[in-house]
Amino acid sequence: MTNKDFFQALEELETTKKINAQQLIEALESALTSAYKKMYGQAKSAQVKLNPEKHSIKIYSYKTVVEEVENQDKEIALEDAQ
């Protein structure tokens, strides 16, 4: 299934089942973010964003840039970030 197919399925759900698309997208973003954190660690600061107009799904994982890494889940070395 491609991203385009995924978003077409969401549109079909909205039309046939009268489900609010924005609420469904927000619920999916929350569920996918939770799944990402479960798979890669709760300490990670992450966010999943769905963009129906562009048929895109993006995962953002945030880390703090530091000189010396003490927590690999939350920090990244300056030289690695450049």
Domain at 72, CATH number: 3.30.1480.10
The DSSP H or E segment spanning 23 is helix 21-40
pTM of the model: 0.77
pLDDT in tens, 36-55: 888 887 667 889 999 999 99
Per-residue pLDDT, averaged over 63-75, amounts to 90
DSSP lists the bridge partners of residue 51 as 56
Residue 78: what pLDDT? 93
Instruction: Quote the domain boundaries for residue 71.
Output: 3-81
Task: Give me the number of domains the chain comprises.
Answer: 1
The DSSP H or E segment spanning 49 is strand 45-51
Residue 67: what pLDDT? 94
Contacts of 62 (CB under 8 A, 6+ apart): 45, 46, 47
Residue 23: what pLDDT? 94
Query: In this predicted model, which residue has the larger pLDDT, 41 or 72?
Result: 72
Give 66's Cβ-side CA count (13 Å radius).
Answer: 12
pLDDT category at 11 given cuts 50, 70, 90 is: very high
Residue 5: what pLDDT? 93
Residue 60: CB atoms within 10 Å: 11
Is residue 58 within 8 A of residue 47, CB to CB? The reply is no
